[in-house]
Amino acid sequence: MLLCTCTMRGLRRAAGEASAASGGIYLKGEMKLLVAVKRVVDANVKVRVKADRTGVETANVKMAMNPFDEIAVEEAVRLKEKGVVTEIIAVSAGPAPVQETIRTALAMGADRGIQIDTDAELQPLAVAKLLKAVADKEQPKLIILGKQAIDDDSNATGQMLAALLGWPQGTFASKLAIQGEEALVTREVDGGLETERLTLPAVVTTDLRLNEPRYASLPNIMKAKKKPIDKLTPAELGVDVTPRLTVLKVEEPAKRQAGVKVKSVAELVDKLHNEARVI
């Protein structure tokens, strides 16, 4: 029995060395991954501003997972399918309905969920602090979230979270690979593609070209109903989520005016200079 155990250990070690030599994806021990998801107005719904201009109308409006977060969940599931990740935890902050978004992540392949129960208006810094508190509790090796949410387009939560944790960050990821204790993140920049090598633990935010999210199958949707969702509160996590910014007024964009045909270059330059004031 002892000889068999030693032989198996040797085989595992040899397999790991072969994987590393071939540039394969591998990681020793267990790897926990945290993925953040947000409930937003469905991307196919036309957003309407409230009559009092305090925000957008969400009553009786179809809600869904933020599209960039869907990409984050898909990438997490793919890493688990490759044997890199051992557990995926989906986290969302908000009132009871956000559990629907967490269930969607569970149906896609996440193992368990965490709801941070609050009715407060959550701004990026507050969300980053909540995620940091969850990360301190769960000790993941990797956190993946969408680069931005389609409701506020703030594009700040991932960067703030990395700063609070003191972890390296790879933003706008169009490709992600885990090699040993490092993450290789390819991102699009003005001059082409840039690849960053991050030491784990790290924070990665996803771009549209990273992958194509899968549709949850009916059997997986049924299984997701039995997966656990823990409930926490900001107070239990020791986080103050009081908004630091005040929204004064929300307005719809001005309607685009009809174009005007000009008869000469001189007339075009005159209108650009005196009417549009762009030159």
pLDDT above 90 coverage of the chain, percent: 66
- CA dist 32 → 85, 125, 195, 264 (Å): 6, 24, 23, 64
Give the SS3 label for residue 195: strand
**Which of 26-40, 67-81, 214-228 has the least mean pLDDT?**
26-40
Helical segments of 109-231, H only: 124-138, 157-165, 218-224
- On the question of pLDDT at 28 being above 70, the answer is no
Q: What is the pLDDT of residue 205?
A: 96
| Residues contacting 270, CB < 8 A, separation 6+ | none
Give the SS3 label for residue 146: strand
Domains and CATH numbers, the chain: 24-274 (3.40.50.620)
Q: What is the pLDDT of residue 82?
A: 93
Per-residue model confidence as pLDDT tens digits over 150-166: 988 889 999 999 999 99
Per-residue model confidence as pLDDT tens digits over 42-98: 988 888 888 888 888 888 889 999 999 999 999 999 999 999 999 999 999 999 999
Q: What is the pLDDT of residue 245?
A: 87
Give the SS3 label for residue 108: helix
